[in-house]
């Protein structure tokens, strides 16, 4: 009898040892009922971290990226549609001035090169000009050089303004996206009251002014 019990225990142990492992879940017994709790696969956390990189960005960052790729796209993303024509109108004006300034610069640059090349057969477009013609001699050459430098400076300034405008519309889209998420609930209030402000240049003297105070209303 003892041998049969020992053999049964040994056989049950071998069955449990070689039984396939269940990774789908585990059984938790609480009282008379059993509940199956699912266990997530090991690579679930890794898969959750994957995906499109923009899904992890906040709205201000997305608005700035869109404006950097396509000017005005950030304003469109912020639903400030009336700003998009302003962005493109500003860009059109800057492009127009760049083209005009560059054409003027190239005209005077080429004319000055032809005037100083020492070849009498080359004639520039200002050869018969009343102030820039060849009859004016050195004065005409100095005027050509002055106008060349003037239009070159204007062209370079237009490039700087274009870069500034491009950066400004990116910053505007970023700030606007932040302000859209700013708390403007009824709990916020702005108080304006008159005040006397001290003058730093004249200690002891004061000047009238206004004080703006932004505070949060407390619920009673």
- What pLDDT, on a 0 to 100 scale, did the predictor assign at position 206? 81
Helix (H, G, I), strand (E, B), or coil: what is residue 176? helix
- What pLDDT, on a 0 to 100 scale, did the predictor assign at position 27? 47
- What pLDDT, on a 0 to 100 scale, did the predictor assign at position 1? 46
Strands (DSSP E) found in 15-161: 25-30, 33-38
- Encoding tokens for residue 199? 């003058």
Domain membership of residue 19 (yes or no) is no
Domain membership of residue 96 (yes or no) is yes
pLDDT digit string, tens, across residues 190-209: 677 788 878 777 787 888 88
Strands (DSSP E) found in the chain: 25-30, 33-38, 188-198, 206-216
pLDDT digit string, tens, across residues 88-109: 999 999 999 999 999 999 999 9
Domain membership of residue 17 (yes or no) is no
H helices then E strands: how many in the chain? 6, 4
Q: What is the tally of structural domains in the chain?
A: 1
Domain membership of residue 65 (yes or no) is yes
| Rounded Cα–Cα distance for residues 72 and 3 (Å) | 87
Domain membership of residue 138 (yes or no) is yes
- Encoding tokens for residue 116? 């100083």
- What pLDDT, on a 0 to 100 scale, did the predictor assign at position 3? 46
Domain membership of residue 117 (yes or no) is yes
- Encoding tokens for residue 129? 């000009």
Q: Which domain holds residue 132?
A: 55-182
Domain membership of residue 106 (yes or no) is yes
122 pLDDT above the threshold of 80? yes
- What pLDDT, on a 0 to 100 scale, did the predictor assign at position 24? 47
Confidence of residue 213 (pLDDT cuts 50, 70, 90): confident
23 pLDDT above the threshold of 70? no
């Amino acid at each position: 009898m003892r041998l049969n019990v020992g053999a049964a225990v040994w056989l049950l142990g071998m069955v449990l040892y070689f039984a396939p492992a269940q990774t789908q879940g585990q059984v938790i017994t609480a009282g008379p009922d059993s509940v199956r709790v699912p266990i997530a696969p090991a690579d679930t956390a890794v898969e959750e971290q994957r995906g499109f990189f923009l899904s992890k960005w906040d709205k201000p960052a997305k608005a700035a990226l869109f404006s950097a790729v396509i000017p005005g796209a950030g304003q469109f993303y912020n639903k400030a549609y009336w700003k998009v024509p302003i962005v493109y109108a500003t860009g059109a004006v800057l492009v127009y001035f760049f083209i005009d300034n560059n054409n003027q610069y190239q005209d005077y640059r080429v004319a000055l090169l032809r005037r100083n090349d020492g070849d009498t057969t080359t004639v520039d477009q200002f050869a018969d000009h009343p102030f820039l013609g060849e009859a004016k001699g050195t004065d005409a050459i100095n005027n050509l050089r002055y106008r060349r430098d003037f239009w070159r400076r204007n062209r370079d300034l237009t490039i700087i303004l274009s870069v500034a405008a491009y950066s400004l519309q990116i910053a505007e889209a970023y700030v606007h996206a932040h302000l859209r998420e700013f708390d403007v609930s009824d709990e916020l209030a702005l108080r304006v009251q008159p005040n006397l402000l001290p003058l730093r240049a004249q200690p002891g003297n004061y000047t009238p002014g206004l004080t703006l105070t932004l505070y949060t209303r407390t619920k009673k």
